[in-house]
Amino acid sequence: MDAKQAIAEGRTALGIELGSTRIKAVLIDESHSPIAAGSSEWENRLENGVWTYGLGDVWAGLRGCFRELAEDARNRHGEELSSVGAIGVSAMMHGYLAFDAGGNQLAPFRTWRNTSTGRAAAELTELFRFNVPQRWSIAHLYQAILDGEPHVGDVAFLTSLAGYVHWKLTGRKALGLCDASGVFPVDGAARGYSGRMLRQFGELVGPWGLGWKIEGILPEVLGAGEMAGALTEEGAGLLDESGRLKPGIPFCAPEGDAGTGMAATGSVAARTGSVSAGTSIFAMVALEKELSRVYPEIDVVATPAGGPVAMVHCNNCATDLDAWVGLFGEFAEAAGGGLGRPELYEMLYSKALEGDADCGGLLSYNYHSGEHITGLGRGRPLFVRLPDGNFTLANFMRSLLFSAMGTLRLGMDVLAGGEGVRLDGLVGQGGLFKTKGVAQRLLAAAMGAPVSVMDCAGEGGAWGAALLAAFALRRRGGESLEKYLAERVFAGKPGSRVEPDPKDAEGFNRFMGRYAAGLAIERAAVRHMPGND
């Protein structure tokens, strides 16, 4: 069926993802191939020491994104977009969005990037005997209680960004299993929140007399393949200002970027893994069994179908890289070169492959914000070199790319060393992989494992959200998500696989020796360069 007919008959699925710097929508046909796309740019702000986005920016960005998607469908296929078969919403996981009984926002949206909940996370981890990272929603809520924030007694609904958007579009307060696991720990087998931990949290906060119970303010939890409401007339107006989009379109459960990343890489079965790399970088490793103990560097979340996943999440990846590319772009413009942004990325990233294996004595830290794995509550982007280092453009770019993977490697070492987890390979997706073969080759060296990248890797979580919507729409009987992805999505799909190059791997290990030792420099920079964070 051609794309025009698929759009006209609504035989499509739409995925929308609110990423850290871009909101993207991807429309797919029945072969799961993208046939139209749209996007809009946005950026978080540091306000009063809090990394946040305004909710007005959410809707302005979504409308701009959908408008561009509809224009793309019209221009490419000559068809107006008035309906789709199903919709899936994805967004950055974790963070804090709290509302009162009237639906009013009680506090600024606190994103995953904030590292201000150290006491709450530590106390909950000890209480639950389960790692609760600082960015999780429950850590933010408990920290607000500890800090005596006046709004906590009025909380009637606590959710993630994807859950908020889904609620406003459908009227239903729901989350997919993976996203829910970043709001409050889940029991994947029971397809819901952990009953034990709900009771423990209730007993913990009982003395405050808050007037609500934790189970009463959380969204319902739904697994992959379950429908989670339909587009309301009000929701259609929020998404499409033209008025063409018809209400009644079914939605799958909203998911976090980790869940849609697993879907977009086909990495939901045990012993598979993926790395999503954009503003942040994180690895998702589907486990055969639960971890034997608590590791502060490792989050335990769930696949969209409820299987256990070890997640190594790092707050920082491409922000510092993007800043340097922007600087080189300014130089190119001043020199009269006028290179476009895509050409700059292609040239500079490719240059990294010409560098010395260990970056020639150059060292960088991409810490735009804090990193819990290395114990830093704040970040300061930093570049250091030895006086006799080989200071070339190739080595400089290689050091920036290695730095984007350095903290991830520290976390993965904990997983491999403490639990003996080994992977047959990883699948990469996200903006870092758009320049073909560069980040893929260096990540293989950093992780010591083959890295595969599909041709659609740059589509990222929006495509993954569309796949989850298609699964909910087209699932046959009790068909599993794992089987659907393997047999109906990825079978025969083109891609590339890169094995670790021994020379690159040895060079990365030498770089990591300097990286681990040089963390003291980063800590000193945080201590001696005060800012408004």
Taking only the tens place, the pLDDT of each residue in 497-518 is 999 999 999 999 999 999 999 9
Residue 400 has pLDDT above 90, yes or no: yes
Question: Pairing mode, if any, of strands 97-99 and 157-159?
Answer: antiparallel
Answer yes or no: is pLDDT of 526 > 80: yes
Q: In terms of Cα–Cα distance, which of 529, 533, 507, 369 is closest to 441?
A: 507
SS3 of 208-233: HCCCCCHHHHCCEEECCCCEEEECCH
Mean pLDDT of 421-443: 87
Q: What is the pLDDT of residue 186?
A: 94
Residue 240's CATH number = 3.30.420.40
Identify whether 107 is part of a domain: yes
126-172 confidence digits (pLDDT tens) = 999 999 999 999 999 999 999 999 999 999 999 999 999 999 999 99
Cβ–Cβ under 8 Å, residues 237 and 224: no
How far is Cα 204 from Cα 13, in angstroms, rounded to an integer?
A: 43
Task: Return the ∠ at Cα 163 (arms to 157 and 167), rounded to 5°.
Answer: 75
Give the tens place of pLDDT for each residue, 228-275.
Answer: 999 999 999 999 999 999 999 999 999 998 899 889 888 888 778 889
Domain residues for 42? 3-264
Give the whole-angstrom CA distance, residue 361 versus residue 382. 14
| Cβ atoms of residues 269 and 286 within 8 Å | yes
Q: What is the DSSP string of 240-251?
A: -TTS-SPS--EE
pLDDT for the residue numbered 66: 98
The dihedral over CA atoms of 340, 342, 346, 351, expressed in degrees to the nearest 10, equals: 50
Structure token digits, residue 171:
């009227």
> How confident is the model over 218-229, as pLDDT tens digits?
999 999 999 999
Average the pLDDT over 373-391 and give the result. 94
Residue 152 within a domain: yes
Contact residues for 200 (Cβ-Cβ < 8 A; gap 6+): 127, 128
CA-based nearest residue to 467, from 170, 181, 255, 236: 255
Domains in the chain, number:
1
- Rounding to the nearest 10 degrees, give the CA dihedral for residues 302, 421, 312, 262: -50
- Asked whether residue 431 is domain-assigned, the answer is no
Q: What is the pTM of this model?
A: 0.84
Is residue 455 included in any domain, yes or no? Answer: no
Count of CB atoms situated within 10 Å of the CB of 1: 10
pLDDT at 524: 97
Rounded to the nearest integer, the mean pLDDT of the chain is: 93
Residue 89: band (very low, low, confident or very high) from pLDDT cuts 50, 70, 90 = very high
CA distance 113 to 378: 10
Tell me, yes or no, whether 501 lies in a domain: no
Residue 280 belongs to some domain of the structure? no
Within-domain flag for 319: no
DSSP-derived letter for residue 500 is P
The CA angle 316-317-318, to the nearest 5 degrees, is 125
Whether residue 123 lies inside any domain: the answer is yes
- State mean pLDDT over 65-90: 96
Mean pLDDT of 321-338: 91
